[in-house]
Amino acid sequence: MDQSVDIKELNERIQQESSFVDMITMEMNKVIVGQKHLVDSLLIGLLSDGHILLEGVPGLAKTLAINTLSHIVDAKFARIQFTPDLLPADLLGTMIYSQKNEEFMVKKGPIFTNFVLADEINRAPAKVQSALLEAMQERQITISDHTYKLEEPFLVMATQNPIEQEGTYPLPEAQVDRFMLKVVLDYPKKDEERLIIQQNLLKKFPEASPILKPEDIIRARDIVKDVYIDEKIQKYIVDIVYSTRQPAEHGLPKYAEMITYGASPRASISLAQAAKSYAFIKRRGYVIPEDIRAVCHDVLRHRIGLSYEAEANNLTSEEIISEILNTVEVP
Amino acid sequence: MNVTRTMKHITYVLALLLMVASGVQAQEIKARATLDRDTILLGDQIQLNLELEQNIGPKIQFPQIPDSIGKSIEVLERTPIDTIKMGDRRIMLRQDFLITAFDSGPHPIPPVWFKLKYDQLTDSVHTNSLSLFVQVPKVDLKKGPADIKKPFDAPVTLKEIAPWLFGGILIAAIIFLLIYAIRRRRKKLPLFQKPPKPKEPPYRVALRKLDQIKEEKLWQHEHVKEYYSRITDTLREYLEGRYEVTAMEKTTDEIMAALKYDAVKLDEKSYKQLKEILELSDLVKFAKLIPVEDDNQMTLANAYFFVNQTKIEEKLPEEEEKENDEDNGDEEVTIDLSDKKGRRKS
């Protein structure tokens, strides 16, 4: 860790550069009612350069939220509806023959954009999912002999529906691990739902205005990288992640038989990055344990494998994470 | 003639001496036979006791009573001959017989003879004779035939129930031990364990640790981060013990939120003070803040103040015992001379 970071100076920089956070939130709130956690998670993903998997029943404004965010950032946006007959080439692009030029030309797919909305990702077969997830990790696409770098910022936001599992291809653990956050959406509150009705009955549906450029996001990401994370916080992250791997040794013997595999080192990295972004959103130049706890569920919930016993006991990864947070000592 | 007369005189004298000697013996040896009662119902059982009281010396041949006395009295049980010491040189021999009779009418019990054997002489002594009268239950013929009486319920004796009682207690003890052992094993605890030492009150632990932090002069030696970490850890441990808030696993915001509950009832000043300590410590621990010297001193002073302000005075059992002993030692003792008895006034 860079000990030469001047926290005071960093705090001042963050105060200046993070003003867009409020603006994004404000613009998002014009369109999305409630779902504050979703908006925060999208911002964390955007600032941490991490992809997001959204899970929720239909009609919770998943697609609308991502669409609105891309509109606010004024970046290129592509929405891909994943279907069982989708092919990797439909996503990445392919070589087509140009009769005019009498040569094969590259026809880039919709993934060559800044924001990709992979709608209902679990409806496409494994080879398409694999192609997307490779692009997510490598940030480049190879078509024929040519490799093409993807534009920055590149953010994939995938949605999946927890119900209607028939005819779906659940994401393999190795691939789901590539999503930095898995955000689970719940129904809006009564008051929020009433506002949603009122908003949708208006003659013109509200629209968010573009207030940011992609460069602003890249600049903000540089500042987020400078956010100070103390070694005590790093140890806290490691303790949490290790508790998912060896629960018995961390005071949770009851979960020893419930967890088949724990979070990967990628989870530790994601936890640290997401906590930094969260600290940035909260206008802080340093990470505190509250930041870790705030993002812990979203970072770890898709990275813990539950055993048959856990499923038989209706135990969820949410409960395990909560118990871990209540057991691991805060620095 | 004279010789014959002299011999006669000698014979009379010897006979007289022998009679006197036998009279002395008879006085020293007493044989007695007694019955519990002399009248019984048909088939009833009573005790016949034979006793022989004598000086230590002659060998006694106790009579062998057969299984029946006379024609009608039956001997059911007999005890061994018991020897009872009556004095320095006197003993009593005693044997009891359980007898019954199934023939009505009077049944004499003849005297029982005991044979005595001295060095060269033998003698005998007998008990008194007894009479046992056996009655037939009176039957009122006017009332007509009566039902057969049910058997009497004999009272249960301790001897009869003792094996069941002790057996039951033993089985219950074994079952209890087994359950206890299984429970201990499930909890992965040793079968037998010394009782845990009484817990030290949390404020004492906290004050001791704060003293230690002060003595180590951490911030003076530029270990500021460690200084603040240890102060906050001490306070969080204290909060766990004092308010049962799991402070070690909570962040500053969560601790402060937990302490807002009515159950905790932390006064406003202490609450504010704790918040300041924890927030400043967070900045030192996680944001590389280096506070001024005054802040360092104030933080420790505030930590002391917080603990002292919120502590509950609890005494260890040994201390309570010691104090009780001291109190007892100081008790005023006054002697009331009127009834010459010491009375303790507390």
3 state SS for chain A: CCCCCCHHHHHHHHHHHCHHHHHHHHHHHHHCCCCHHHHHHHHHHHHHCCCEEEECCCCCCHHHHHHHHHHHHCCCEEEEECCCCCCHHHHHEEEEEECCCCEEEEEECCCCCCEEEEECHHHCCHHHHHHHHHHHHHCEEEECCEEEECCCCCEEEEEECCCCCCCCCCCCHHHHCCCCEEEECCCCCHHHHHHHHHHHCCCCCCCCCCCCCHHHHHHHHHHHHHCECCHHHHHHHHHHHHHHHCHHHHCCHHHCCCEEECCCHHHHHHHHHHHHHHHHHCCCCECCHHHHHHHHHHHHCCCCEECHHHHHCCCCHHHHHHHHHHHCCCC
What end-to-end distance do the CA atoms of chain A give, in Å?
17
Any idea which of A48-57, B95-104, B127-136, B190-199 has the lowest mean pLDDT?
Answer: B190-199
- What is the average per-residue pLDDT within A194-220? 83
pLDDT at position B23 over 50: no
Q: How confident is the model at residue A1 (pLDDT cuts 50, 70, 90)?
A: very low
Judgement on whether residues A249 and A146 belong to the same structural domain of the protein:
no
pLDDT at position B275 over 60: yes
Judgement on whether residues A127 and A192 belong to the same structural domain of the protein:
yes
Q: How confident is the model at residue B316 (pLDDT cuts 50, 70, 90)?
A: low
Contact list in A for residue B251 (CB cut-off 8 A) is: 288-290, 293, 330
Flag if A330 and B248 touch (Cβ within 8 Å).
yes
Residue A276 domain flag: yes
Instruction: Chain B: give the shortest CA distance to residue A331, in Å.
Output: 8
Contact list in B for residue A233 (CB cut-off 8 A) is: 286
Instruction: Chain A: give the shortest CA distance to residue B325, in Å.
Output: 43
List residues of chain A with CB under 8 Å from any CB of chain B: 3, 5, 7, 228, 230, 232-233, 284-290, 293, 325-331
Flag if B288 and A5 touch (Cβ within 8 Å).
yes
More confident residue, B197 or A190: A190
Q: How confident is the model at residue B343 (pLDDT cuts 50, 70, 90)?
A: very low
Q: Is the dihedral of CA B35, B36, B40, B43 positive or negative?
A: negative
pLDDT at position B308 over 80: yes
For chain B, give every domain's residue range.
30-137, 202-310
Which chain B residue's Cα is nearest to A240?
B249
Residue A51 domain flag: yes
- Position B328 scores a pLDDT of 55
pLDDT at position A216 over 90: no
Flag if A287 and B249 touch (Cβ within 8 Å).
no
Hey, what CATH class is B30-137 in? mainly beta
pLDDT in tens, A57-74: 878 787 888 888 888 888
Contact (CB, 8 A) for B320 and B327? no
Angle between the A7-17 and A214-226 helix axes, to the nearest 10 degrees? Answer: 160
Residue A89 domain flag: yes
Q: How confident is the model at residue A138 (pLDDT cuts 50, 70, 90)?
A: confident
Highest mean pLDDT among A150-164, A269-283, B9-23, B323-337: A269-283
Bridge partner list, B93: B52, B83
- Position B263 scores a pLDDT of 65
Q: How confident is the model at residue A97 (pLDDT cuts 50, 70, 90)?
A: confident
CATH number at residue A274: 1.10.8.80
Any idea which of A194-208, A276-290, B304-318 has the lowest mean pLDDT?
Answer: B304-318
Q: Distance between CA A89 and CA A80 in Å, rounded?
A: 12
**B249 vs A228, A288, A329: nearest CB:** A329
* Cα A151 to the center of its chain, rounded Å: 18
pLDDT at position A324 over 70: yes
Judgement on whether residues A158 and A274 belong to the same structural domain of the protein:
no
Highest mean pLDDT among A62-66, B56-60, B293-297: B293-297
Answer whether the bond into residue A153 is a cis peptide, omega within 30°: yes
Contact list in B for residue A289 (CB cut-off 8 A) is: 251-252, 286
Q: How far is CA A180 from CA A105, A137, A158, A295, B136, in A?
A: 34, 11, 11, 10, 110
- What is the average per-residue pLDDT within B242-271? 83
User: Could you tell me which of A128, A157, A141, A145 has the C-alpha nearest to residue A43?
Assistant: A157
Contact list in B for residue A330 (CB cut-off 8 A) is: 248-251
**A327 vs B249, B282, B287: nearest CB:** B249
Judgement on whether residues A206 and A242 belong to the same structural domain of the protein:
no
**A328 vs B249, B286, B289: nearest CB:** B249
- Position A287 scores a pLDDT of 92
Flag if B251 and A293 touch (Cβ within 8 Å).
yes
Residue A319 domain flag: yes
Flag if A289 and B246 touch (Cβ within 8 Å).
no
Contact (CB, 8 A) for B249 and A236? no
More confident residue, A163 or B250: B250
Flag if A232 and B289 touch (Cβ within 8 Å).
no
Continuous segment of H or E residues that includes residue B100: strand B90-101
Q: Is the dihedral of CA A289, A290, A294, A297 positive or negative?
A: positive
Which chain B residue's Cα is nearest to A324?
B249
Residue A163: domain span:
20-216
- Position B333 scores a pLDDT of 41
B322: DSSP letter = H
**B286 vs A230, A327, A329: nearest CB:** A230
Q: Distance between CA B230 and CA A104 in Å, rounded?
A: 69
**B287 vs A286, A293, A326: nearest CB:** A286
Q: How confident is the model at residue B119 (pLDDT cuts 50, 70, 90)?
A: confident
Which chain A residue's Cα is nearest to B286?
A230
pLDDT at position B177 over 90: yes
Contact list in B for residue A284 (CB cut-off 8 A) is: 287
pLDDT at position A264 over 70: yes
**A233 vs B249, B252, B286: nearest CB:** B286
List residues of chain B with CB under 8 Å from any CB of chain A: 229, 246, 248-254, 282, 285-289
- Position B17 scores a pLDDT of 56
- Position B74 scores a pLDDT of 93
pLDDT at position B340 over 60: no
pLDDT in tens, B222-254: 888 899 999 999 999 998 888 888 888 899 988
Instruction: Chain B: give the shortest CA distance to residue A303, in Å.
Output: 22
Judgement on whether residues A212 and A103 belong to the same structural domain of the protein:
yes
> Across chain A, what does the average pLDDT equal?
86
Contact list in B for residue A293 (CB cut-off 8 A) is: 251
Contact list in B for residue A325 (CB cut-off 8 A) is: 249
Q: Distance between CA B65 and CA B96 in Å, rounded?
A: 11
Instruction: Chain B: give the shortest CA distance to residue A230, in Å.
Output: 5
Contact list in A for residue B232 (CB cut-off 8 A) is: none
Judgement on whether residues A200 and A271 belong to the same structural domain of the protein:
no
Residue A33 domain flag: yes
- Position B346 scores a pLDDT of 31
Answer with the one of A188, A216, A244 that is the final residue of a domain.
Answer: A216
Residues with Cβ within 8 Å of B292's Cβ and at least 6 positions away in sequence, in order, are none
Flag if B289 and A293 touch (Cβ within 8 Å).
no
Contact list in A for residue B246 (CB cut-off 8 A) is: 326
Residue A58 domain flag: yes
Total number of domains constituting chain A: 2
Answer with the one of A183, A216, A249 that is the final residue of a domain.
Answer: A216
pLDDT at position B289 over 90: no
Answer with the one of A165, A196, A216 that is the final residue of a domain.
Answer: A216
Which chain A residue's Cα is nearest to B279?
A288
pLDDT at position B327 over 60: no
- What is the average per-residue pLDDT within A5-17? 77
Judgement on whether residues A256 and A134 belong to the same structural domain of the protein:
no
Q: How confident is the model at residue B334 (pLDDT cuts 50, 70, 90)?
A: very low
pLDDT in tens, A27-39: 888 888 877 888 8
**B249 vs A230, A290, A330: nearest CB:** A330
CB atoms within 10 A of CB B74: 14
**B286 vs A286, A293, A326: nearest CB:** A286
- Position B229 scores a pLDDT of 92
CB atoms within 10 A of CB B125: 20
pLDDT in tens, A229-238: 999 999 999 9
Judgement on whether residues A321 and A247 belong to the same structural domain of the protein:
yes
Residue A238 domain flag: yes
Residue A295 domain flag: yes
B201: DSSP letter = P
**Could you tell me if residue A98 is left (phi over 0), alpha (psi between -120 and 50 degrees) or otherwise beta?**
beta
Judgement on whether residues A44 and A138 belong to the same structural domain of the protein:
yes
Angle between the A214-226 and A36-48 helix axes, to the nearest 10 degrees? Answer: 80
Which chain B residue's Cα is nearest to A2?
B288
> Across chain B, what does the average pLDDT equal?
81
Contact list in A for residue B254 (CB cut-off 8 A) is: 290
